[in-house]
């Protein structure tokens, strides 16, 4: 090999090393920004179910991922986000699955204040019929607002049913299957919260950040 060829080879290797370092650094910066954006998006999506609860830090950081069997509705993965203020638990947010819908599982968010009152219910995912079961969505009707501030004692557990079933809560016009499934899941979540309140707030967060 002539000295000229060797020198060009060394230069090319150096350029390749610099490029590889730049690509790796850019990836690290972008990945961190994407993760931060995802976390902010998730945090903002969860907030409406927390009503006007004041909390500090990130609720997504204090997350528990529970694999079944866990006692919450749905018999699939349940996620609990905990909210604290000054280290004191102020609310918990449950992402659970309501079974028994018209068209399949319905993924819901139930926010519960530390004293047991509901801070909000939101529908995350469903396949219910447009114009019928989809009234559970906040964008379609205010049906979901009737749970705000209610708790296991208000009404008593037997009241946590549709009016059509002798309970305290409105159905939707032409659709009782969907709201019945959602109310059952809310009721079961309230009972779980009531039974496991201390453990819920004491358990260490599941390792991953999102
Ligand atoms: C095509 C079709 C789609 C329907 N979609 C829903 C639905 O998404 N949610 C629902 O609660 N009921 C839906 N229904 C109505 C239910 O079958 C049922 O009649 C209604 O919920 C009342 O239930 P009940 O007889 O138990 O009171 C649908 C009915 C039809 C024919």
Compute the distance from residue 162 Cα to the ligand 1 centre, in Å.
15
Compute the distance from residue 128 Cα to the ligand 1 centre, in Å.
9
User: Partners of 110 in the beta sheet?
Assistant: 94, 121
Q: What is the pLDDT of residue 41?
A: 85
Q: What is the pLDDT of residue 209?
A: 43
pLDDT over 90 at 4, yes or no = no
Q: Whose CA is nearest to atom 3 of ligand 1?
A: 129
> Structure pTM?
0.86
User: Distance (Å, rounded) from C-alpha 111 to C-alpha 109?
Assistant: 7
Q: For residue range 34-66, list pLDDT tens digits in order.
A: 878 878 888 888 999 999 999 999 998 889 999
Compute the distance from residue 148 Cα to the ligand 1 centre, in Å.
25
Cβ < 6 A, ligand 1 pocket: 102-103, 128-129, 132-133, 164, 175-178
- Which atom of ligand 1 lies at the shortest distance from residue 128's CA? 8
Compute the distance from residue 198 Cα to the ligand 1 centre, in Å.
39
- Which atom of ligand 1 lies at the shortest distance from residue 103's CA? 8
β-strands 78-85, 88-98 pairing: antiparallel
pLDDT over 50 at 80, yes or no = yes
Compute the distance from residue 175 Cα to the ligand 1 centre, in Å.
5
Question: Which of 12-16, 31-35, 142-146 is the least confident region?
Answer: 31-35
- Delimit the domains of the chain by residue range: 3-47, 49-202
- Which atom of ligand 1 lies at the shortest distance from residue 164's CA? 27
Q: Would the CA dihedral through 154, 155, 158, 159 be positive or negative?
A: negative
Q: Whose CA is nearest to atom 14 of ligand 1?
A: 175
Q: For residue range 111-154, list pLDDT tens digits in order.
A: 999 999 999 999 999 999 999 999 999 999 999 999 999 999 99
pLDDT over 50 at 210, yes or no = no
- Which atom of ligand 1 lies at the shortest distance from residue 180's CA? 11
């Amino acid at each position: 090999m002539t000295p000229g060829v060797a020198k060009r080879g060394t230069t090319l290797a150096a350029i390749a090393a610099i490029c590889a370092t730049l690509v790796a650094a850019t990836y690290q910066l972008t990945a961190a920004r994407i993760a931060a954006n995802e976390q902010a998006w998730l945090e903002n999506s969860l907030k409406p179910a927390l009503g006007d609860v004041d909390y500090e830090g990130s609720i997504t950081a204090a997350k528990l991922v529970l694999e079944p069997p866990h006692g919450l509705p749905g018999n699939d993965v349940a996620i609990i986000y905990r909210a604290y203020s000054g280290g004191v638990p102020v609310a918990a947010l449950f992402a659970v699955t309501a079974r028994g819908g018209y068209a399949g599982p319905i993924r819901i968010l139930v926010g519960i204040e530390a004293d047991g009152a509901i801070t909000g219910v939101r529908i995350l995912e469903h396949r219910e019929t447009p114009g019928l079961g989809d009234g559970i969505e906040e964008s379609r009707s205010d049906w979901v607002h009737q749970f705000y501030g209610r708790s296991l004692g208000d009404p008593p557990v037997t009241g946590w049913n549709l009016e059509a079933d002798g309970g305290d809560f409105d159905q939707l016009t032409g659709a009782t299957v969907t709201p019945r499934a959602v109310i059952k899941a809310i009721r079961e979540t309230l009972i779980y919260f009531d039974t496991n309140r201390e453990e819920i707030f004491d358990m260490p967060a599941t390792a991953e950040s999102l």
